Amino acid sequence: MSKGSKVWGEIKSRGEYIGLVFFVLGLAVLLVQFGLVLYGLRTETGLLAASLGLLSVGLGFIAIGMSTKSDKRYTDLLDKLNRNVANLPQMLKGDSLTPFGQQMADEAKQRISQEEKIKRNEQSKIAAQKRLDEDTKKVGFVRGELYQTKDGSWAIAWGGKYPL
């Protein structure tokens, strides 16, 4: 992620607060303008334009902030729903699911188990690589290589083309 997108992400997450500041400034400038008009002093169109601009920017940032929060809530809700579809048969206990509901629950269970298996395999590869790196540091040269076993986990083949 680039620095610019991190800054924009931070602005979006704090958009309501930033917008509130601009909005209040716009209202303050507008009140100053009305005060000048009430006292019969010269009116400035620049102040009116500035206040309307600040109000617009404020409302824009508030909308961006609200949209970002809504999107985050929506994403979290969908993730939670996605994870819990697999648990529908256990949650309903004595009730039965429609065939489509049962199919969705089975697919979700299968997807979750595949994701967990991939995660375990990645952790297995990282652990095996760590063991190999520690051995290489200890002896000063490489004595084995990583290979994937039939069950998908990772192990080290010692020797072979590398001397022990």
Digit-coded pLDDT (tens) for 65-99? 999 999 988 888 888 877 777 666 666 655 666 77
Instruction: Give the type of residue at 98.
Output: T
What is the pLDDT at residue 40? 76
Please give the average per-residue pLDDT across 12-16, as a whole number.
86
- Alpha-helix runs per DSSP H in 85-152: 88-92, 99-139
**Hey, where are the domains in the chain?**
1-84
Among 31, 51, 27, residue whose Cα is nearest residue 39: 31
Q: Is 34 exposed, middle or buried (0-12, 13-18, 19+ CB in 10 A)?
A: middle
What is the pLDDT at residue 57? 93
Question: pLDDT tens digits for 125-141?
Answer: 888 888 888 888 888 88
What is the pLDDT at residue 58? 94
